[in-house]
A and B are shown apart, each in its own frame.
Chain A
Amino acid sequence: MSATAKRLLGIGVATLVVCVLIGLYVGLYLTSAPGSATAAQTSAGAQLYLGTVPAAELNDPHNTWVSYYSVSPTSTSWRHVTTFNLPAHTLVHVTIYNYDGQSGLRNPFISQSQGTIGGGFTLNGKPVQSIGPDTASHIFSIPQMGVLVPVYGVPDDAKNPCSNAPCSLSYSHSTTTFTFRTGNPGLYRWQCFVPCAAGYIYGWGGPMQTVGYMDGFIKVA
C-alpha cells in the first residue's frame, strides 16, 4: 500500500470515527428524557408520594442541592424524578414527607393553601389551611391548576435531622397530605416558591432554576 493510500485510509477511518461519535451524541441527546413517576391508581383516585430533602443523594451530580423526590408510601424507596404522570379529571391524593428545615416565604400570602379539595390540607394528621410564613420549608404548587400547598419545615432543634436523600421515616420530618382534582390532559409545570437554594443569591439559583430538583412537570393524560 502506497503512502498516499495509507494516508487516505487514515483520513477515512478518522472521519468515520468522528461521524459515529457525533451521531451517537446527537442520538443520545434526542432520545434522553428525564425519568418520570406514575401515580398509583386506586378506587379513591391517584396516589402520589413525594419526599423533600435538604440535599440530594451523595452520588448525585449536585449532592448539596435541595430536592424533591418520588418516594414509596413508607418512604423506603426513593427515585430522583420530578416529572409525574397523573390521570385527567381525577382526584389526586398527595403525601409529602419533608425532611428539610424552615426557610420562610418571600410572599407570606402563599402560606395559605389554594386549590385543594376542601380548601386545606393536613399537617402531621391535623387539618389546617395555612402555616406560619417563616416555618415554610417548601411549596408544592401547580400554578396552571391553581394548586398551592405550603410544606412545614423541620425545626432547627429537631432531634434526628436527615441530611441527604434517601431518608426513612425514623428521621425528623413533617407529613403533609392534600387532594386536588386534575383538569384536561396536558403538560403542566410545578414548582417550589420558597427561596430555598442555599448558597445562591436570593436563594433562587441552582436547584430552583434546574428542572429535576425543586421544579418539574405534571403530565396529565
Chain B
Amino acid sequence: MDNVNHFRRLAIIWFFVSVIATLLVVLLLAPILPPGNGSVEASGQVVDNTVLLGVSTPVATAVLVYFIYALIVFRERDPTAVVDGPPIRGHSTIQTWWLVVTTGTVLFLAGYGTIRLLADGAGGGQGPSPIATPVHANSALQVQVIAQQWKFTYRWPGYGGMETPRLELPASRLIEFHVTSLDVIHSFWAYQLGVKADANPGYDNIAYVTTKGPQTFNIHCAELCGVFHGYMFETGKVVPQSQFAVWIAQQRRQYAPGTKALPPYSKQYFPQPQRLGG
C-alpha cells in the first residue's frame, strides 16, 4: 500500500471523471438551465450559467473523487490498530500549483462575469444611469414598470403616457424598462425574459432586454413586500409586431379615462405619502 502513488492515481481518476462529468453537464444540463431562451439576455444568462458550471464541475469532482477515494482506500480496517499517521510535510510544487490553479480560476470567473455584465447589463437593473447600454438604445421601446402593493402596472411614454394593467411586448425588439415603485421596495422579475430589477420608490431603475419570438412569460415580485407579496404575479406576452400595434391601440382607447387622470409621465413619482386615511 505504501508504495502506491496515491496522488498520481487520484489525478488520473479525477481527470477522467471530471471530463465525463463536465461533458454531461455542458451537453445535457446546459440546454435546460434557467431562465431559458426567452430573450437575448436570457440566452446570455444560460451561456453564463453553462460556463460557471463547466468551470466548477472539475472542482466539485476533485472534492468528491478525493472524498470517495479516501473513504475506500484510507479506511482503517482493523479498529484496534489505532496508530498516528505519517507527519505532514510541505510540498512546494503542489502548493505552487494549488495557488496558481485556484487564483487563476477565481480571476477568470471574476473577469468573465465583469465582461458579460458590462456587455449588455445581463437583464439586470442598472439604476438611473446605465453603464452597459446596448448599441441601439436610442431606438428602444420604453416601458415604465410601476409597482405598488400588490400589483404592477405599465406606462408607455412613447404612446402618450398611457398606462395598462397588463404587459405585452413586441417580438424581436429592444425594450428599455424603467422600474419604479409608488410605495415600498418591490422587484420586477420577468423570469423567461431574464429581467430582474428592483422597484424602489422615487427611483428610476433601468434594465434592457431584447425580445425574441412570441411567447408568454411569468412576472413575479422578487422582494418581500407585504401580506400579498406571494400573490403579486401575472403573465406577460411577447407578440408579433403587428399584433402588438393592434393591442397597444386597443389599450389606448380602452384606458383613455384612466390615462386622463394620470400625472404627466415622469421617471419617478412621489405620491402624497399620507392620504386622509380611513
Chain A residues close to B by CB (< 8 Å): 54-55, 66, 100-104, 106-112, 114, 119, 129-130, 132-133, 141, 143-144, 146, 148, 189, 191, 193-204, 208-211, 215
Contact yes or no, A143 B148, CB < 8 A: no
Give chain B interface residues in 85-130, CB to chain A under 8 Å: none
Alpha-carbon distance A208/B165, docked complex (angstroms): 21
Q: Does B278 contact A (CB under 8 A)?
A: yes
Q: Does B34 contact A (CB under 8 A)?
A: no
Decide: A143 near B234, CB < 8 A? Known: A109-B262, A111-B261.
yes
Could you list 15 A-B pairs, sorted by A, with CB under 8 Å?
A: A54-B278, A66-B278, A101-B276, A101-B278, A106-B183, A106-B275, A107-B148, A109-B261, A141-B151, A143-B150, A144-B231, A191-B150, A195-B274, A198-B278, A208-B226
Query: Are A143 and B259 neighbours in the complex by a CB distance under 8 Å?
Result: no
B226 & A112 in contact (Cβ 8 Å cutoff): no
Q: Please give the residue numbers on chain B whose beta carbons come within 8 Å of chain A beta carbons, in ascending order.
A: 146, 148-151, 153, 163, 165-166, 182-184, 226-228, 231, 234, 254-255, 257-259, 261-263, 271-278
B-side interface mostly? loop
Whole-angstrom CA separation of A136 from B131 in the bound complex: 41
Q: Which of B163, B272, B277 has the largest number of chain A CB atoms within 10 A?
A: B277
Residue of B nearest to A195 (CB): B275
Contact B277 A108 (CB under 8 A): no
Given the complex, which residues of A lie within 8 Å of B255, measured CB to CB? 109, 112
| A197 lies within 8 A of B182 (CB) | no
12 more A-B residue pairs beyond the given contacts A146-B166, A193-B151, with a C-beta to C-beta distance below 8 A: A55-B278, A104-B272, A107-B153, A108-B262, A108-B263, A109-B261, A109-B262, A112-B257, A119-B254, A191-B228, A208-B149, A209-B227
Cross-chain contact B258 with A108 (CB below 8 angstroms): yes
Q: Which of A107, A130, A194, A209 contacts B257 (CB 8 A)?
A: A130
Asked if A146 contacts B183 (CB within 8 A), the reply is: no
Residue of B at shortest CB range from A128? B257
User: Closest 6 CB pairs between A and B?
Assistant: A198-B277, A112-B258, A198-B278, A108-B261, A130-B257, A109-B163
A198 to B259, CA, bound (A): 28
Residue in A109, A200, A204 whose beta carbon sits within 8 Å of that of B259 in the complex: A109
B271: chain A residues within 8 A (beta carbon): 106-107
Measured in the bound complex, the distance between the Cα atoms of B261 and A93 in whole Å is 27
Interchain CB contact under 8 A, B277 and A195: yes
B151, B165, B255, B261 — most chain A CB neighbours (10 Å): B261
Nearest Cβ on chain B to A211's Cβ, whole angstroms: 7
Query: A169 → chain B, closest Cβ, in Å?
Result: 21
CA distance A211 to B226 in the complex (A): 11
Given A110-B258, A129-B257, A148-B165, do A100 and B278 touch, yes or no (CB 8 Å)? yes
* A102-B276 in contact given A107-B271, A112-B261, A189-B228 (Cβ < 8 Å): yes
Q: Which residue of B lies closest to A65 (CB)?
A: B278
* Residue of B183, B257, B277, B278 with highest tally of chain A CB at under 10 A: B278
**With a CB–CB cut-off of 8 A, which chain B residues contact A107?**
146, 148, 153, 182, 271
CA distance A100 to B228 in the complex (A): 24
With the chains together, A108 CA to B273 CA distance in Å?
14
B278-A103 in contact (CB<8A): yes
CB nearest neighbor in A for B231:
A189
Chain B residues with CB under 8 Å of A110's CB are 153, 258
Residue of A111, A143, A210 with most chain B CB atoms under a 10 A cut-off: A143
Give, as a whole number of angstroms, the nearest-CB distance from B139 to chain A: 27
Closest to A104 in B: B275
Cα–Cα, bound, A55→B255 (Å): 33
Residue of B nearest to A53 (CB): B278
Q: Give chain A nearest CB distance to B60 CB in angstroms.
A: 41
**A221 nearest CB across to chain B (Å):** 19
Given the complex of chains A and B, what is the CA–CA distance between A64 and B21 in angstroms? 63
Q: How far is the CA of A23 from the CA of B182 in the complex (A)?
A: 45
- Closest residue of chain A to B152 (Cβ to Cβ) is A143
Most chain A CB atoms below 10 A, which of B231, B272, B276? B276
- On whether A202 and B273 interact (CB within 8 A), knowing A66-B278, A106-B183, the answer reads yes
Report the nearest A residue to B201, measured CB to CB: A202
Q: CB distance B254 to A143 under 8 Å?
A: no
B163 closest partner in A (C-beta): A109
CB of A215 within 8 A of CB of B148, answer: no
Nearest-neighbour CB distance to chain A for B182, whole angstroms, equals 5
